[in-house]
Amino acid sequence: MTVRFEREILPLHESASGVRFEVDVWRYEHPQATQTLYLQAGVHGVELTGVPVLYEFMQQVEAEQLPFSFICVPLANPMGLDSQIMGQQVGYNNLHTNQQNCWNWNRVGNLRNEGSIEGRWIKTLLDLAEPASTVLDFHTAGLENAPHVYAQVSQVAHAETLGFPHVLAWETPSDSFSDSCFKRGQVALTFELSESRTVPEAGVERGLRALRIFLGLEEPAEPGTVWAIKERLLKWYAPESGVLQWKVSAGESVQVGQPLARLYRREGVQELLSPIEGVLLLKNPIHAPHQHQELAKFLKA
C-alpha cells in the first residue's frame, strides 16, 4: 500500500465581500512511523521560500515512502499572502484589522483564546501542531540575510548541524508560534532560509537539505556558529534620514569602524561605520530610512 498525503481544508474567516480564507492541511501517516513532525511555512505573507520547500518535500516523502508521520501547512497564512500594496507583498502585519493593533502575525500566541481574526487563526495552527513531537517553522528575513536558525538554548543540539551558518539561541520565550510550541514541551525550531519577498533556489535547497538532515536521511553538516541572542544580537539604527547605499553584503564579517554604507542626506554624504566586530546578519528592506529607523542586525563577536 502506498501512503499519500491527504488534504483537509479548514475555514478561518470571511471578508466583507464574501471572500473565504482557508488553510490547507496535508497529513501523511505511515504505519511504521514512531514520531510526528509538524512543518509550516508562510506565517508572514512576505516570507515565501518555505512554501516551495514544503511542496517539494511532500513529493519526496511520497516518492520514498518515508516512515514518519507529517502534518504540513505550506500556506499557513492566506490573509498575509494576499496582503499587497501596488503588487508589493506586505503581509508581515495584519492589515485587515484595526490599524492601532496591526498585529505581527508571528507574535500573537497570547491571543489564541480570544475570538478575533488573529486569535482564531493562531489557535487553529497551534491546535494542528499539538500532536507533533517536533515543530519546524519556515521563515525568511530582510532584504539580505545570512541564513540562520532560532532555537531555545536547551534545543540547540537539534539545530547545529542542519546546514545553517548561524544558530541563534534564545532563553526567554516570546509569543511567536515556535516559542508557544516550545512552552508546551515540543522541540520547536524557526528556520530563516533566505531573504524575503523572493524565492531563491539556494534557499529552497537549503530548506530541503535541513529537513533531510533532521530526519537522518543525509549526513549532518558542519556545525554552525551558536550565538546567544541576549548578548550577541545587535540592532543598528539610522543616525539621520536619507538614501542608503550599502557597501557590504549580509553574512560578511565586519570590523569596528569599517565603512558599511553611505547615507545621502540633504546636508551631504555621511559614511556609516560598523559599531562592532562581528557578522552582518541581515539588512532590512529600507532604502530611504527615517532617522532612528532600524537598518540591520549584527552578531557581535
Q: What is the pLDDT along the chain (301 residues), one digit of tens a residue?
A: 899 999 999 999 998 999 999 999 999 999 999 999 999 999 999 999 999 999 999 999 999 999 999 999 999 999 999 998 898 888 999 887 765 678 999 999 999 999 989 999 999 999 999 999 999 999 999 999 999 999 999 999 999 999 999 999 999 999 999 999 999 999 999 999 999 999 999 999 999 999 999 999 999 999 999 999 999 999 999 999 999 999 999 999 999 999 999 999 999 999 999 999 999 999 999 999 999 999 999 999 9
pTM: 0.96
Residue pair 80/43 in contact (Cβ under 8 Å)? The answer is yes
DSSP-assigned letters across all residues of 127-164: HHHTT-SEEEEEE--SSEE--EEEEEGGGGGGTTTSS-
What is the Cα–Cα distance from 74 to 55, expressed in whole angstroms?
Answer: 7
Q: Where are the beta strands (DSSP E) in the chain?
A: 6-14, 20-29, 36-41, 69-73, 84-85, 88-89, 134-139, 144-145, 148-152, 166-170, 187-192, 225-228, 233-237, 243-246, 253-254, 259-265, 268-273, 278-283, 294-300
